[in-house]
Amino acid sequence: MAKAPDSTAVADKEQEGADTAVGVRRPPAPVAPRASRGFPSAVSRTGRVGALDGLRTLAVALVVVHHVEPDVLPGGAVAVDVFFTISGFVITRLLLAEYVRRGGISLMSFYRRRWMRLVPALLALCAVCALLASTTSLWGFDGSLQAAGLSAAFLTNVVRAMESGPYSELTRPLAHTWSLGVEEQFYLLWPLVLLFVLRRFRARTVLLCTAALCALPLLWRCVLWNPEAAHRIYNGTDTRADQLLAGALVAVALARLRSDDPRLTLLRTWSGRLAWPALALLGLVAWQVPVTEDLGVWTAVWYTVGFLAVAALSATLVMALELRPEARMSRLLALTPLAWVGRNLSYGIYLWHYPVVRLLASLGVNEGRLAATVVLTLLMALLSYYAIEKPFLRRARVGKMPAAAPALAVT
């Protein structure tokens, strides 16, 4: 059970070319303090972070290995948590930048761009799986018609959350799309909540509200926890929201601080010091901890406090990569091959890797299955990117509202 945002997902193409007409790297104009609406760095902090794209590549690689060789990386599903935090960070800073520039957030435009980014490639995947189910005898695609319908409606996580025992065959052919359901449901609700607090409170209170919201899923998980509720907690948007909100909290905090603010220097220093330990701890979990298995007391800790702890580690990484582009970790993750794959192919890799795993298993491929999965998944991701995702992303950018147009702020 894993994902890549958009997330899974997985790479978020809204960053690339976002509002270039107004110059996303240009700092806000030095006018009255009210012009920044309390977020003086919101507009200047919307450029693409190459190291985050490289982190996406690393995370999706963990997901693939976890699904092909679970004994090698029993905790590889933790990469999903990292993707959630990246997504929350990227989406929130784009929404903040729009709010500062226009005094509102065009919700319809936001939802349209999200649809263009996620849905066309997902529908293509669902169609292929349904076709294989109806025209072949491959057992790995039995039940794909129902699973495709749930995936296309972003409801896979809802169905899985309601199952107390072993997961049923209802979602199994496209089980990995549970995390897409979590992200899409978050995308539906979070802009409304953010716009509400932005319109009614000062920037400092917005930051405090976001931090408070991060704590609510932890409390809710503690209330819900029992072994029979494991699926409910693992798949629920309300029980996983703190991992997305941790990224949102980083975005809000950084947007509030000017480049010469001493608190920003403090964040830059400490995030840099903690980045490698955070990455090492996440790697240790992926390598040694079977996070989706029943391990007694450890499972109770993981399904309550553990999710928030991983969110904190992921948020530390995101902050370090944003604030310290010159650091060794940032330079390594921003290497062109890693950044390009994360930016352009991570979503396609996530979408296609699990059906490829099931295809090879149905064909009885055992020797070299990991290598075969990687090759076939990359081919399908490339096809998805150039034939589906890129054309729709181009249409999404062309369809953006002019910079001078008033925002349609719906509360």
- Pick left, alpha or beta for residue 37 (phi over 0 → left; psi -120 to 50 → alpha; otherwise beta): left
What is the CB-side half-sphere exposure of residue 98 using CA atoms within 13 A? 27
CA–CA gap between residue 143 and residue 25 (Å, rounded): 48
Q: Does any domain span residue 142?
A: no
Q: Residue 97 has what pLDDT? A: 93
Q: Among the listed ranges 112-116, 185-189, 381-385, which one has the minimum average pLDDT value?
A: 112-116
Domain that holds residue 56: 20-121+178-356+373-398
Q: Does any domain span residue 10?
A: no
Other CB atoms within a 10 A radius of the CB of residue 368 amount to 10
Specify the number of domains making up the chain. 1
**Mean pLDDT of all residues belonging to the chain:** 87
List the end-to-end C-alpha distance of the chain, in Å, as a whole number: 35
Q: Does any domain span residue 137?
A: no
Q: Which residue has the higher pLDDT, 346 or 32?
A: 346
Q: Does any domain span residue 223?
A: yes
Q: Does any domain span residue 389?
A: yes
Q: In this prediction, what percent of the chain has a pLDDT beyond 70?
A: 88
Q: Does any domain span residue 200?
A: yes
Mean pLDDT of 158-172: 88
Q: Residue 339 has what pLDDT? A: 96
Q: Does any domain span residue 67?
A: yes
Task: State the pLDDT confidence band at 400, using cuts at 50, 70 and 90.
Answer: low
Q: Which residue has the higher pLDDT, 394 or 382?
A: 382
Torsion angle, alpha carbons of 330, 85, 176, 282, to 10:
60
Q: Does any domain span residue 167?
A: no
